[in-house]
Amino acid sequence: MRAQVVLPLLALTTLILFPNNTNAQLRRNYYANVCPNVESIVRGVVNNKFRQTFVTVPATLRLFFHDCFVNGCDASVIIQSTKGNTAEKDHPDNLSLAGDGFDTVIKAKAAVDAVPGCRNRVSCADILALATRDVIALSGGPSYGVELGRLDGLSSTLASVNGKLPQPTFNLNQLNSLFGSHGLSQTDMIALSAAHTLGFSHCSKFSKRIYYFSPRSPVDPTLNKGYAAQLQGMCPRHVDPRIAINMDPTTPRTFDNAYYKNLQKGMGLFTSDQTLFVDPRSRPTVNAWAQNSAAFNQAFMTAMTKMGRIGVKTGSQGNIRRNCAAFN
């Protein structure tokens, strides 16, 4: 167990040297004395958004991933660009983030702030973390306790996104390196990759696998032939770049372990998905979770909790934004 750090100067030094070691500041009952109903307020908004459109689920989940992997879980991805600053959300890797994710957080923040005791007391970063847990549960996934106490970040730049997000072409070494830089293990990475059991992808993100893989093999040989033909039918050459397809071809609206069963059949949409089965170092975990949904759910909850601790802002590192999309 990590020893308690008492001296303020030493605590600050620890935060600087080990930015991921911030879970000591997070706790599930963080708002108990100021906004005790925050979780039910956020859940109510998420439920309403979910009833309006299923896109709320993958949009919110993806927003949380993209937020945490760039400068930590601090809601910096929600900041809108201004004349003097191009923010994270306008980076090419973030342009496909669906508006329903942003809208969910902004509406939940408004609902929380409508309660007098809660006004300007709950961070956008925490609201995003709560909303992510709720959309997972609404789509059939596990519900878990969310650690709270994050502050909202004070910076959001386009340049800060460069090299921070996993790419569809990544192999296992690249995935492990990126996730490992955030204190996440290979097991965590394989669990978190199952977020691809929900949501959509534009054809351009995988077109090379089905048309231009190599001079010898236009289609990626690790791709199921029937699935490749199906993808070619939905994404013909020179297709409208706005066209998107389901990432999970079997249960696209359910959070489940079908993601791993699909990998066993060669039906991972991205190279970064299929490599989890192709590579013998990760294949045993894929096989285990394809057979045991309870074990997968437990691993996913653990990984989500760990991811939620990445780069948490405390003290002078952040504040509580009045408007999630703009700095105070």
188 annotated binding-site participant:
no
182 is catalytic: no
* Of 273, 271, 129, 131, the residue nearest 196 (C-alpha): 273
122 annotated binding-site participant:
no
182 annotated binding-site participant:
no
82 annotated binding-site participant:
no
72 annotated binding-site participant:
yes
Which residues are registered as beta bridge partners of 48?
none
113 annotated binding-site participant:
no
275 annotated binding-site participant:
no
248 annotated binding-site participant:
yes
88 annotated binding-site participant:
yes
What whole-number distance in Å separates Cα of residue 78 and Cα of residue 106? 9
* Of 306, 21, 294, 284, the residue nearest 188 (C-alpha): 306
Q: Which of 66, 91, 182, 202 is catalytic?
A: 66
93 annotated binding-site participant:
no
39 annotated binding-site participant:
no
- Active site residues per annotation: 66
List residues forming the annotated binding site: 67, 70, 72, 74, 76, 88, 166, 196-197, 248, 251, 256
Give the residue numbers of the binding site for heme b: 196
- Feature table: binding site for Ca(2+): 67, 70, 72, 74, 76, 88, 197, 248, 251, 256
